[in-house]
């Protein structure tokens, strides 16, 4: 309950900070600072996910490098650097299939990774403002971190002696990552959309609902 209250407070503070920013060039410096802060927070969550084990060191390391490259490209305003970062990431992640993954949990992870990689390649192919590119790509990176956490939960659930304390910790951390994913979606709508439609708010509403963890019985069905 305390965790949910904290996350609700975080989301409320985010919208309070977002409202004065507006859209377009006037809001860009504040948008840069917010997304760089989100990237830094996501990298911390990624490190925790990597330490939880599961044999996906390559994915953890390459996702961390991607986030670092995105932050650097945003700092310099170098759109070409963003393209290069995503291209390198997509090439190296193809080696994920050679990692010592748990066979019971591998297929959903690889399927989701293919979808996220496809989304990121589509984002950079469409080009656009560096800030908006980074916002979209950070959203995909947050989804990837959540996938790593889901994989770790799956490994725990399928072990002979499940570590329930570690599982609860990962679920709490995943809720934080899902909150950051929601925030990047909102940033994309409010800072990067030419016109905001009612469907955008419906999408945000369902993404907000997705922040909170599913009951343990549902999560174990992964």
Q: What is the pLDDT of residue 34?
A: 87
Q: What is the pLDDT of residue 54?
A: 60
The DSSP secondary-structure symbol of 70 reads: H
Read off the pLDDT of residues 175-216 as tens digits, 9 standing for 90 and up. Answer: 999 999 999 999 999 888 878 888 888 888 888 888 887 655
Q: Which pairs with CB-CB distance under 8 Å and at least 24 residues apart come from 43-46? A: 43/67, 43/68, 45/145, 45/173, 45/176, 45/177, 45/180, 46/145, 46/148
Instruction: Please tell me the distance from the alpha carbon of residue 222 to that of residue 125, in angstroms, as a whole number.
Output: 32
pLDDT tops 50 at residue 39: yes
pLDDT band at residue 25 using 50, 70 and 90 as cut-offs = very low
Percent of the chain at pLDDT > 70 equals 81
Q: What is the mean pLDDT of the chain?
A: 83
Widest CA span in the chain:
56
Which among 10-14, 77-81, 94-98 has the top mean pLDDT?
Answer: 77-81
Tokens of 159: 């072990």
Tokens of 144: 């990837």
Q: Is the pTM of this model over 0.75?
A: yes
Contact call for residues 151 and 100 (beta carbons, < 8 A):
no
Q: What is the pLDDT of residue 11?
A: 52
Closest Cα to residue 123, out of 55, 202, 198, 70?
A: 70
């Amino acid at each position: 309950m305390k965790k949910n209250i904290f996350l609700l407070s975080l989301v409320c503070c985010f919208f309070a900070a977002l409202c004065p920013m507006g859209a377009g060039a006037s809001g860009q410096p504040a948008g840069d600072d917010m997304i760089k802060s989100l990237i830094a927070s996501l990298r911390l969550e990624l490190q925790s996910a990597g330490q939880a084990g599961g044999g996906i060191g390559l994915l953890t390391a390459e996702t961390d490098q991607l986030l670092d490259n995105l932050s650097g490209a945003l700092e310099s305003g170098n759109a070409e650097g963003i393209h290069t970062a995503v291209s390198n990431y997509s090439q190296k992640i193809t080696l994920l299939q050679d990692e010592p993954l748990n066979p019971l949990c591998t297929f959903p992870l690889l399927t989701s990774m293919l979808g996220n990689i496809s989304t990121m390649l589509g984002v950079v192919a469409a080009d656009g403002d560096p800030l908006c590119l980074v916002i979209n790509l950070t959203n995909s990176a947050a989804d990837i971190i959540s996938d790593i956490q889901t994989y770790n939960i799956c490994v725990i659930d399928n072990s002979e002696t499940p570590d329930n304390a570690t599982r609860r910790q990962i679920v709490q951390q995943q809720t934080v990552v899902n909150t950051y994913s929601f925030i990047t979606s909102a940033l994309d709508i409010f800072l990067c959309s030419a016109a905001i439609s009612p469907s955008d708010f419906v999408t945000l509403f369902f993404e907000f609902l997705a922040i909170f963890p599913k009951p343990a019985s549902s999560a174990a069905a992964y």
